[in-house]
Amino acid sequence: MITLSSIIDHFEAEFLSAFQGQVLSHQIKAVQAMKICRTSHSPVMQVSCTDCDHQTFVPQEWVVDCKQVGSGDKALIYLGRYLYRGVIREKDILSCKEGHVTYRYQNSKTKQWEINTVSGARFLWLVLQHILPKGFRRARNYGFLHPNSKQLIRVL
């Protein structure tokens, strides 16, 4: 499987050179965070100071107080709606060769899966377009506006 961190390792310098005037500081921080994701550092917790930006890793195991409540199916379904999904799943990155990345995505209009091949630097730029600036949060729809809502709205 091709990981996003390996693509960043391979194309980071080319990306920063090609898009140097367009890349924002929060996007560079996101690249650095994605670069260590699913590597030897990933099973540990990263702690950072908000005042001085000092970062360190903690290898201690977490102890969680868990109590069984039924089989957990309902909790899993409930929490699954709220967990963050990445921009692209690693299984959708099909190949990385000769300076190009091939990936698949679902067309939002046709709902059909399509395949696209772009340069490695362009691929990283497309991924970073989904990184929100510091202080911004993803908005979710609630109530009848939620995508999973089964209610029909009667227009009067």
What is the pLDDT, as a whole number, of residue 156?
A: 47
Q: Are strands 93-97 and 100-106 parallel, antiparallel or unpaired?
A: antiparallel
pLDDT of 10 above 90 = yes
Q: How confident is the model at residue 88 (pLDDT cuts 50, 70, 90)?
A: confident
What is the pLDDT, as a whole number, of residue 19?
A: 92
What is the pLDDT, as a whole number, of residue 54?
A: 81
Q: Which residue has the higher pLDDT, 7 or 73?
A: 7
What is the pLDDT, as a whole number, of residue 90?
A: 84
Burial of 15 (0-12, 13-18, 19+ CB in 10 A): buried
Contacts of residue 18, defined as CB under 8 A and 6 or more positions apart, other chains included, come to: 121, 122, 125
Q: Are 97 and 89 in contact (CB under 8 A)?
A: no
Lowest mean pLDDT among 72-76, 112-116, 147-151: 147-151
- DSSP helix/strand/coil, 123: helix
What is the pLDDT, as a whole number, of residue 121?
A: 95
pLDDT digits (tens, 9 = 90+) for 14-72: 999 999 889 988 888 888 888 887 676 665 666 777 788 787 776 666 666 667 767 76
pLDDT digits (tens, 9 = 90+) for 90-130: 889 999 999 999 999 998 889 899 999 999 999 999 999 88
